[in-house]
Structure 1
Amino acid sequence: MAHPLLGKEVSALKGLFGEIRKAEAELEIMRAYLRDSEKFKDANETTSIFVRRVRDVAFRIEDVVDEFTYTLEDCKHGGLATRIKKRIKHAMNWRRLALKLRNVNAELEDAVKKRERYAMPRVLERYAGGSVHHAGSANQTLSFAREEDLVGIEDNVAKLTQWLVGDLEGRSRKIATVWGMGGTGKTTLVDHVIVKVDFDTAAWVTVSKSYKVQDLLTKIAREFGVSIDARNMEMRSLVEVIRFYLEGKRYFLILDDVWEKDVWINIMDVFPSNGTSRIVLTSRKHEVASLATSDCAIKLEPLGEDHSWNLFCKLAFRNNDDKRIPLELEYLAVKFLQKCEGLPIAIACIGRLLSCKPTTYSAWKNVYEDLELQSSKNVIPGVDVILKVSLEDLPFELKNCFLHCAIFPEDYEMKRRRVIRHWITAGFIDEKENQTMEEMAGKCLNELVNRSLLQVVKKNGFGRVKCCRMHDAVRQLALDRAEKECFGKVYEGSQTFSVDGTRRLLIQNSNIGPLSQSGATKFRAIHVFTNYIDINLLRPILASSNLLSTLDLQGTQLKMLPDEVFSLFNLRFWVLEILELKFYLRQ
């Protein structure tokens, strides 16, 4: 006679199968929604809250589906008697998972109803939240092109000037590009050079990320001084007017903050090429820089220590004849510059702020303490506005790879192989036809470098990136976003550490007592960057994170292997070092 518990278990399992299939279909739609929501999630606060709730529900459905898959697979192994025992043993699990799914579905329905209830009328949405496409205004507002404020760009000024004014008698078009991460002074450099160039006509246009070709050409025409009635003019007529105006002239065109190659490719035929012309493009992307004529490309890097110090002195004491920093303020000056990390725009922001304050220790200390309290903890106000634009421009798949790099410690040199394996394990990389996942991940790494979001530390003999790091200002913004989206969080020894549903944990402090007692659960990845960690304190974290897929303890010396590791059925990537023995396992 069949065991009564087995009959109940079979019935519960049939019902759960149907629920799981529905949940998987719902999860697929939710993931698509979250990808698409990148375009509008900041439109207003109501939408932002709804997106957060959908993300949380998606995480919980993902957990239920993974646990169900493992439990079901476990029941298939062994003889008949063993399988029956396992199914009876898992009967409570079936019911628990079914209840979880019902609760999750109810929460999702509640979120949808609330969103409909508090939906903002479309006429108001345009005025809520503002636009995220503000790169142009931010760059121009924070430019610091005063002659006495320019430091560390003399060689690039000479190089760009030579490219632009050399061989003006020859009837040719030359394209120069200036590229680098946000805040390195691209606009400033070009702004400084343009005053040295003498052409018949010139135009400077800042390109919107969401540009339209006709709108861009209209701006260019007006900057050149062409009189047009754009509202009543077709594209063909607009092109003819611009071309006729420029024919036979020596003209100079600057397209500032270009985000893709197509910006120039889509309009290049508008401009006469049989005369003398110079085109300058500024961008954060290498692909745009590749448009340059015969190596006329300049990549701007953060300033070195000496140039950073000189620029800081000039700006902080711009109202003084003596630009030297008083001895009692040197310590704070060093602290300010550590935050700026060589970014000219950061140094400009903080230098200008200090130039309006009394040159006393107490006044400067107050400014520094105010900076510490900013929401973006280690980023100078104003800089985050510029850097955030680069983050918002990332495709959904690439954004996950970028946020993951922020989980490594500050100034950490990330090795190519390790980063790529993390991305693949986390499911960030899709395999495409004729390309392995390793090759696809390598392309993602190169793209982040080309977007100036990662800095190359070392290349191999073939020019391939071997090691890279993330600028501290960029990293802090990425960490803020990672924490906000429950992507990942850093534990640095805080006594009051809140997990709040985060999926990835970076441990940078060996004192994990508070973390061990915080009730941390459902981590998908744990990365430890300390020389030593107490196994007994690590055990409860591993025990409560049974869905863990990555456990990276590379560089952490352990005296023994935690038993809890063997219960991590979802583990796909783990690195452990036990005394002098190194274990590297990849499933």
Structure 2
Amino acid sequence: MAECVIAFLREKLTSFLNEENELLGGVDEKVEDMRAELERMAAFLVAAEAQEVTDPRLKVLVKQVRDVAYDTEDVLHEVIPLRTGRYRGKIRLCGFVHGVYLHVRNLKARHQLASEIQSIKSRVTSLEGYQRYCFPLSISEQGPNTNFNSRTLGDCRGTVHWSEDPNPVGIEVPKQQLIKWLVEGDSGVKTLSVVGPAGIGKTTLVREVYDDATVKKHFYNHAWLTVSQPFELDELMKDMLQILCSGMRAQVPQGIEATKTNGLKRKISEVLQQQRYVLVFDNVRNIETWEGIKSVLPKNSNSRVMLTTCFSHIASTSSMETEGNVYTMKPLYQEESWTLFCKKAFRGSYCPRYLEEVSQRILKRCCGLPLAIVSIAGLLATKNQSRIEEWEMLHRCLGVELEGNDSLNCLRKIFSYSYYDLPYHLKLCLLYLGIFPEDYTIERMRLLRLWIAEGFVQGRAKMTLEEVAEGYLNELVDKNLLHVPEKTEDGRLQTCQVHNLWGELINFKSREHEMVTVARGRDTLWPKKVRHLAVHNSLESLPESKYFNRLRSVLIFGRIGSLHQPLRSLLSSGKLIKVLDFRGAPWESIPEEVFELHHLKYLSMRETKLKKLPKSIGKLQNLETLDLKGTYVTQLPLEITRLHKLRHLLVYRYKILVGYISFHSVRGFKAPPTVGGLHCLQKLSYIEADHMGGGNTDIMVRKVGCLTQLRKLNIVRVRRGHGTALCSSLENLTNLRSLNITSIEPDEILDLHHPLSSGSRYLQRLYLTGPLEHVPMWVASLNSLVRVVLRWSQLDDDPLQSLQALPCLEELHLLRAYKGDRLCFKAGGFERLKILWLIRLEGLRWVVMEQGAVPCLQKMYYQNCKLVDKLPSGIQHLTNLGLLHLTDMPGQLIISLENREEGGGYAEIAHIRDVWTENYRGGSWTGHWIK
């Protein structure tokens, strides 16, 4: 794992050599030597990480090399701030004295650097096996069980199939769907892909389909091939020929072993062109493998190909290219999980009543994954049912069992296969997830910012670090290593979770690499060097401060109580800390020790009781994220503008009113006039335009125009007189992706009619809250817009005319945005709109959907449109509409829709899958499904 650290170190060392022209003689050569040594260490660790190392001697060596790499990183982190602290001020007497002081301090630091590097080199050369680790291939010589390969996994996979069970659990519905796709449809080759996380039963399901009598009868020839890793096309084709010929009872072509790629393809084509066939390729793990398989398949045969894969992009690509289908495996339902659990744990018998409660808790941790249920239930079947404490211990110590119990070896292997298949940067990001509590819902942007602050994200040309990090996250999701419980209405990933059981295995790997330490109270096992500390509900029994002198990050989860001395000591010891996340802590101030952490990049006091940000914040000049959302801070000190590396500034608080949408639902902050100097800012939420308190000065909105790197801008308390300056600033914000503007009062007009020529052309999300004389003309030219939200706009003219031609618009909200009585969605308009909200349009009487309008609409929400007594005219044309949600609508309309008799309103919604109605009465919501 430390190869990730080493890649970072090489970059830092290169920078050190290129920028530092005043190093003492000999130090630069030592640093250069150390860089070469790091290259050799990296080669060794990359090779070791690519394999499942089981040899005890090699494990020790890997740990030693990793420790040296971490310590090298520590040395650099201690020295770099001293280099950047040299005096660059005007030459005055006090400045000269201060410059001399800093020069002497830097001399001392460079002497220290030379000494530290020499010490590290001595440690490296003294490592046992040093000569061998320069040659990573020699790892395989350490023992017969050292290499981790697909054949080992294949053996494991074969032992956990339960398809021989005459009544497999949770198989029948997906089985029938796959059989239908196989035997029906047009002629030609089509691909059916079955995708899902490891252990969910893809292979078992496809085996059931493959062996079904209907499939056997429909296809003349069949072949099942498990794709080896690494993938070799020629070997796959040879295996395919042998299996196909065996099924046809034909002789395998002579000389097949010596036949080259093109010859093998011709022979396979000759065999497959003769009859209908079904081919299964189990465990496809990359696009290159699919491209190889596709190149073998004849184009004019009425046949089918089935793939199993953990990777969503492979499934979608393969099926799209052959006009096939994708079946996404879902976890077993609770009832199915319980049935399977009892069959394995109690040999098909019933669960004793006294074991039900602990069995259900164990089952919950399996997250509906059949492999996990079968493996853990099989282990429980060997335990004494009369000793409840054994079952309780397994629930409590499941992570320990996963680490060392041979009965769960297959579960470990399946996870290891997914883990070792990752590139090194994703391994590091995955193991970092061990810092979050079990079943924790992780916000997307929080995770991306943490990864960046920790240094896990490597820069790429023409991409922000946030874009690179989002790519990392999408890869982990695509590989089904993360679960996505929540997406935004327009389909963006909003939160993610680690599958419960995989979380245990991640924690095991993370502890093995001494990456994350979780403080759970008195039972915590403390390593000698704590690097990333997660506090889960308890700060009791912290060890002495020497354990924390290499600390990188502290994250607190849960209500831990008041700030106390052990935490202060921890912060004082951890001079290398880069991340502090105190979300939800009941503190009214930031600990003073925080402002001495010169490496700090990420500081979150979200949802604390913080009321004021002290001037000391200016000392944290490496800070990149300052998250004060949900606090009581309403003004930032002038010193905030010293934070020239700040990328994300979040200072706001929501006012939640149940059952009512308030105009003043968010409170922002007053910024100093010099805020325009924060040139690295990418997100700014929520800055107040009227920071002078009642005046029409446009200083603040003009300063916003200096923040040319902004991707997201939320600005509140905007006055009519700010319009010209605000539009001028928006013209400069060419990187803007999300814009949220709110007027100071519900009757203060947002004057945004000033033209924009090139600014904001990449804008994807636009939120305008406040009266508009008309929809700004420049909105119609924003071809990248995906979401538009107009609130309290009070428009006299139909806003749809300005928005209907937007080519990418997928979501539209109109809340008190229109005073007229008629809305018309014209034919050909809103070609990609999927979600429509019409809220509190109290003058609205008619909504018309012309045939050919909004053809992709999937969800429609009506709320508090009091005078609407019937559904939109033409709603029957919306064939893709799956949800109609009616809130606080006239009772007569609801009664009509529930009338299924001839002439009743039900006929209008018969084609819609789900129709829900609800009302807010007496302080609570009540509702029911109409259909």
Q: Which amino acid aligns with 2:518?
A: V
**Residue 401 of structure 2: SS of its match in structure 1?**
coil
Choose the corresponding residue for 1:205, options 215, 220, 225. 225
Separation of aligned partners in 1, 2:205 and 2:523: 46
Separation of aligned partners in 1, 2:533 and 2:403: 19
Structure 1 residues 345 and 494: CA distance shift in structure 2, 3 A? same
Structure 1 residues 283 and 223: CA distance shift in structure 2, 3 A? same
Separation of aligned partners in 2, 1:341 and 1:245: 44
Report the identity percentage.
Answer: 29
Structure 1 residues 445 and 141: CA distance shift in structure 2, 3 A? same
- Say whether the 8 Å CA contact 1:376–1:476 is kept in structure 2: no
Residue 98 of structure 2 aligns with which residue? 82
- Normalising to structure 1: TM-score of the pair? 0.89
**Residue 466 of structure 1: SS of its match in structure 2?**
strand
* Residue 576 (structure 1) shift: 2.1
**1:103 to 2:114 alignment:** no
Q: 5 Å matches for 1:462-501?
A: 462-495=490-523, 497-501=525-529
Separation of aligned partners in 1, 2:30 and 2:52: 29
Choose the corresponding residue for 1:544, options 573, 578, 581. 573
- Of stretches 37-46 and 132-141 in structure 1, the one that deviates more from structure 2 is 37-46
Residue 376 of structure 1 aligns with which residue? 403
* Residue 53 (structure 1) shift: 2.1
Q: Deviations over 1:511-540 (max 9, x none)?
A: 343345563221112211132353311122
Structure 1 residues 324 and 469: CA distance shift in structure 2, 3 A? same
* Residue 500 (structure 1) shift: 3.5
Separation of aligned partners in 2, 1:129 and 1:37: 10
Q: 5 Å matches for 1:331-370?
A: 331-355=357-381, 359-361=385-387, 365=391, 368=394
Separation of aligned partners in 1, 2:451 and 2:360: 36
Residue 312 of structure 1 aligns with which residue? 341
Residue 132 of structure 1 aligns with which residue? 149
Separation of aligned partners in 2, 1:61 and 1:409: 30
Choose the corresponding residue for 1:511, options 529, 539, 544. 539
Separation of aligned partners in 1, 2:236 and 2:445: 42
Separation of aligned partners in 2, 1:402 and 1:381: 21
**1:411 to 2:431 alignment:** no
Residue 4 of structure 1 aligns with which residue? none
Q: Which amino acid aligns with 1:385?
A: K
Separation of aligned partners in 2, 1:354 and 1:570: 48
Separation of aligned partners in 2, 1:122 and 1:493: 40
Residue 191 of structure 2 aligns with which residue? 175
Q: Deviations over 1:324-382 (max 9, x none)?
A: 22212213322331332211111112333444666544596498388575253899542
Choose the corresponding residue for 2:70, options 34, 59, 77. 59
* Residue 166 (structure 1) shift: 1.4
Q: 5 Å matches for 1:201-350?
A: 201-226=221-246, 227-228=252-253, 229-290=255-316, 291-292=318-319, 293-294=322-323, 296-318=325-347, 320=348, 323-350=349-376
Choose the corresponding residue for 1:145, options 140, 155, 163. 163
Separation of aligned partners in 2, 1:524 and 1:286: 34
- Of stretches 127-136 and 278-287 in structure 1, the one that deviates more from structure 2 is 127-136
Choose the corresponding residue for 2:603, options 564, 570, 574. 574
User: Gaps spanning 5+ residues in structure 1: where?
Assistant: 1-9
**Residue 340 of structure 1: SS of its match in structure 2?**
coil
Report how many aligned residue pairs link the two structures. 573
Structure 1 residues 537 and 502: CA distance shift in structure 2, 3 A? closer
- Say whether the 8 Å CA contact 1:332–1:364 is kept in structure 2: no
* Residue 458 (structure 1) shift: 0.9
* Residue 49 (structure 1) shift: 3.0
**Residue 225 of structure 1: SS of its match in structure 2?**
helix
- Normalising to structure 2: TM-score of the pair? 0.57
Separation of aligned partners in 2, 1:69 and 1:213: 50
- Say whether the 8 Å CA contact 2:278–2:305 is kept in structure 1: yes
- Say whether the 8 Å CA contact 1:520–1:541 is kept in structure 2: yes
Separation of aligned partners in 1, 2:564 and 2:356: 43
Q: Which of these two proteins has the greater Rg computed from alpha carbons?
A: 2
Choose the corresponding residue for 2:204, options 188, 207, 211. 188
Separation of aligned partners in 2, 1:524 and 1:265: 43
Residue 6 of structure 1 aligns with which residue? none
More helix by share: 1
**Residue 605 of structure 2: SS of its match in structure 1?**
strand
* Residue 125 (structure 1) shift: 4.6
Separation of aligned partners in 2, 1:333 and 1:148: 24
Q: Which amino acid aligns with 1:236?
A: N
Q: Highest relative contact order (Cα 8 Å, sep 6+), 1 or 2?
A: 1
**1:163 to 2:181 alignment:** yes
* Residue 464 (structure 1) shift: 1.1
Q: Which amino acid aligns with 1:513?
A: S
- Say whether the 8 Å CA contact 2:279–2:304 is kept in structure 1: yes
* Residue 25 (structure 1) shift: 5.4
- Say whether the 8 Å CA contact 1:41–1:48 is kept in structure 2: no
Q: Which amino acid aligns with 1:576?
A: M
